[in-house]
Amino acid sequence: MFSNKEEFKKHFLQKLEMMCGKSFAESTKEDQFDTLGHMIREYVSTNWIKTNERYRSEDQRQVYYLSIEFLLGRLLLHNLINLGIDQVVEEGLCELGIDLDCMTEVETDAGLGNGGLGRLAACFLDSLASLGLPGHGCGIRYKHGLFEQKIVEGYQVELPELWLRHGQVWEVRKADFAVEVPFWGHVQAASDHERLSFHHMDAETITAVPYDVPMVGYHNDTVNTLRLWNAEPSLFPIHKDILKYKRETEIVSEFLYPDDTHDEGKILRLKQQYFLVCASINSIVKRYHVKHKDLRNLHRHVCIHINDTHPVLAIPELMRVLMDLGGLGWDEAWEITTQTISYTNHTTLSEALEKWPIRIFQPLLPRIYMIVTEINERFCHLLWERYPGDWNRIERMAIIAHDQVKMAHLALVGSFSVNGVAALHTEILKHREMKDFYEVFPQKFNNKTNGITHRRWLLKSNPELTSLITEVIGDSWVNKPEKLKELLKFHNDAAFLTQLQRIKQENKQHLAQIIKDQSGMIVDPSSIFDVQVKRLHAYKRQLLNVFHIMHIYNRLKEDPHYLFYPRTFIFGAKASPGYYYAKKIIKLINSVADKVNDDPDVRDKLKVVFLENYRVSLAERIFPAADISEQISTASKEASGTGNMKFMMNGALTVGTLDGANIEIRDLVGDDNIFIFGLNADEVLNYKGYHSIEYFHYDKRIRRIVEQLTNGFFSGVDDEFEAIYDSLLIENDQYFVLRDFDSYVQTQIAVGQTYEDRNKWLKMSLTNIAHSGYFSSDRTINEYARDIWKIKGAAH
Ligand code: 26V
């Protein structure tokens, strides 16, 4: 479409006038963004069609990645880079007086996810397309993504988010591929041709309309699809109250994860899950039928991957389609289903494992419930044969028990592959959380350590570091990120290390500017940037980090000459709107920040920043500027973590527990290039006789800090932090914050000392970057493709 900047400029100006009905001089930044966005989408259309034609003609096995979340972030620069036209466009725009960086800021993040699970799905789509693999995403087109966070007087305030203001440029509505999704009603059995058939009667249907977003591969002409389903009223509602029906319908794709603490919210959540699954499976089968007649071969041509248990109804839904629509018998349908579906588990925290009360499930999804009941009965029968008389075990393992449907059990029984997301996590699944199932289905379990796309998290977010790397080892690492190891050659190269330091310093200056713009605060870019950014959760232990800051504050107040290398502690975190404790931690961080930042005795050494509205686009500015990556979850609780990998790739050093993928980072860089502290997973899981109160009594530092939570140390907040105090002393500190405190403080002292030996620090940083190629999601996706999905891509 355009091969040089002159052509680009010509097209851009023409397109702008046509689209906006304005001259260039009259156009706004938004007009210019929309124009460029549409140009890109048109530009990728040819390859989008070609890719689909290629997949069809080669009859390749297709993977569909079903996920309730896709946390894409911004797409403009990402697409330009993957298409290889970023430079032409940047120069062309520059000649028109437009700064590409400014233009990218116009785009609102597509924030259709909460955190790690959703971002992983987005990284995977980038790797699938960039490796030329036939893999597509299926999700929900939430009108409002994750809320926008404001901090008002230290408290989190949630505002609705409206990404579609600018997100629309990437999507294509495909009304002709709409699917009807049935809810409520009842099932009628009929016997025709000596075969029992089931009919879903009096159902209320919702129309699922797909909006397709092109997923552009890196420099390889592949364009895959992310299909996002929008909920709309059906065309022929026989309803008296049409407005009510419209409202009830559209709300299904209105919000990401609505509050599910009440039944009403729960129904909506389950509706979303079935909506996603029913629409996706039906469109997958429709596409299959374009080339194939016999559903008995479905598993040879299709693999359906479920990202956690949210889309697990894919199992009974596929059974329904195969039996009720395809006319297959139970055994045949079960065989095909269990060879088509694969499942990833993302957490072992029991409160996060989904269970649905039958009283909600059965009336909403009557046919699906029947099928789940049958799956359960057959599974319990199998268990009875294997463990005759072992009622306890059967009760533990049943899919339906105690009036609840256990979604993880359904996933374990109905899929051919079950994977954890880091080595330790998979071991914990096999030998603890899912031990019973591992005994019955050992062949299903496997590990796939998470990864991140280096194209977004290095090429796009840290262009200076990218250029430096390419300057010294050439650019082949971009397609083979393992080659970053070649950087180890520069371990003793003073000139290289100086460059590395310069780049980090510049990135820190950028972040300091963002902090100033957001909060008016001035931070010193030559201080250590010590960063913890992730969702707020008790197990991630932002509290431990805060306690360390309070400890340093107390020390500095006691002894103004205490030698402490100046540090800026940076936090970013959203708390779930209904998560009381997490919100208190946000308030605590901000209270500590007020106390510390205002105090002339310490403010040259200590600063605390809470960055509002942590999201993908902000993350892209933070990782390149970090010196320290805080990965301090209670060992055994963080399934993998992926932020840890993004920091490492950008040269930050990890302070972490032996949890999730931290262990694999340690294995790669060695103990000398990471700061490990605290209990390990075995110690946590087998801890006998922990009494947090003893740590309170015997460690003066701890007692002082814990007392400061409630003794008026923070002015004007009275009993604000009682819940935190109680969690530590009354509820016996279930995440071992007090137990790990001393170890953490000692390790942080070592961190400070190491930083003062700048040469050593830079070498450690280099070692981390050099080993980070392993954590490219290209490696992860290649493993999924080889071991689970059995698909092949076009070679680079
Ligand atoms: C969800 C909930 C919801 C209810 C309250 C407690 C709770 C705790 C955790 C979760 C997380 C659900 C799944 C999830 O997002 N897991 C994350 O997946 C990432 C990608 O695999 C992984 O890196 C993170 O370690 C893991 O927490």
Written as one letter, the residue type at 720 is E
Active site residue 535: yes
Which stretches of the chain score pLDDT less than 70? 1, 167, 236-240, 258-262, 794-796
Ligand 1, from 309, 347, 539: best to mutate by most atoms within 8 Å of Cβ?
A: 347
Q: Is the CB of 639 under 6 A from ligand 1?
A: yes
Ligand 1, from 346, 533, 664: best to mutate by most atoms within 8 Å of Cβ?
A: 346
Give the pLDDT of residue 414: 98
The H-or-E segment that residue 470 falls in is: helix 463-473
CA 692-695-699 angle, to 5 degrees, is 160
Give the pLDDT of residue 245: 87
Residue nearest to atom 1 of ligand 1 (CA): 352
User: How many CB atoms are closer than 10 A to CB 382?
Assistant: 13
| Å from CA of 346 to ligand 1 middle | 6
- Ligand 1 atom nearest residue 120's Cα: 20
Active site residue 426: no
pLDDT tens digits, 503-523: 999 999 999 999 999 999 999
From the options 3.40.50.2000, 3.40.50.720, 3.10.20.340, 1.10.20.60, give the CATH code of 59-74+109-450: 3.40.50.2000
| Å from CA of 330 to ligand 1 middle | 34
pLDDT tens digits, 714-739: 988 879 999 999 999 999 999 999 99
Please report, for the chain, the start and end positions of each structural domain, with discontinuous segments joined by +: 59-74+109-450, 454-707+737-775
The H-or-E segment that residue 7 falls in is: helix 5-20
Q: Is 279 exposed, middle or buried (0-12, 13-18, 19+ CB in 10 A)?
A: buried
Give the pLDDT of residue 237: 56
- Ligand 1 atom nearest residue 115's Cα: 15
Contact in structure between 457 and 478 (CB atoms under 8 Å)? no
Q: What's the CA gap between 648 and 625, in Å, rounded?
A: 11
Residue nearest to atom 16 of ligand 1 (CA): 346
Q: Is the CB of 120 under 6 A from ligand 1?
A: yes
Q: What's the CA gap between 564 and 551, in Å, rounded?
A: 12
Give the pLDDT of residue 352: 83
Q: Is the CB of 351 under 6 A from ligand 1?
A: yes
- Ligand 1 atom nearest residue 642's Cα: 23
Picking from 632, 678, 636, 685, the residue whose alpha carbon sits closest to that of residue 660 is 636
Written as one letter, the residue type at 573 is A
Give the pLDDT of residue 715: 86
Contact in structure between 528 and 485 (CB atoms under 8 Å)? no
| Å from CA of 539 to ligand 1 middle | 11
Q: Is the CB of 641 under 6 A from ligand 1?
A: yes
Catalytic-labelled residue, pool 310, 346, 406, 454: 346
| Å from CA of 713 to ligand 1 middle | 34
Q: Is the CB of 116 under 6 A from ligand 1?
A: yes
Pairing of strands 195-201, 186-192: antiparallel
Give the pLDDT of residue 796: 45
Contact in structure between 30 and 166 (CB atoms under 8 Å)? yes
Active site residue 195: no
Q: Is the CB of 530 under 6 A from ligand 1?
A: no
| Å from CA of 766 to ligand 1 middle | 30
Q: Is the CB of 643 under 6 A from ligand 1?
A: no
Q: Is the CB of 462 under 6 A from ligand 1?
A: no
Outline where 670-776 has alpha helix (H): 681-685, 692-698, 700-708, 722-729, 737-756, 758-771
The dihedrals phi and psi of 656, each to the nearest 5 degrees, come to -155, 165
Ligand 1, from 70, 117, 124: best to mutate by most atoms within 8 Å of Cβ?
A: 117
Q: Is the CB of 352 under 6 A from ligand 1?
A: yes
| Å from CA of 116 to ligand 1 middle | 7
Active site residue 35: no
From the options 3.40.190.10, 3.40.1030.10, 3.40.50.2000, 3.30.390.10, give the CATH code of 454-707+737-775: 3.40.50.2000
| Å from CA of 659 to ligand 1 middle | 14
The dihedrals phi and psi of 136, each to the nearest 5 degrees, come to -130, 150
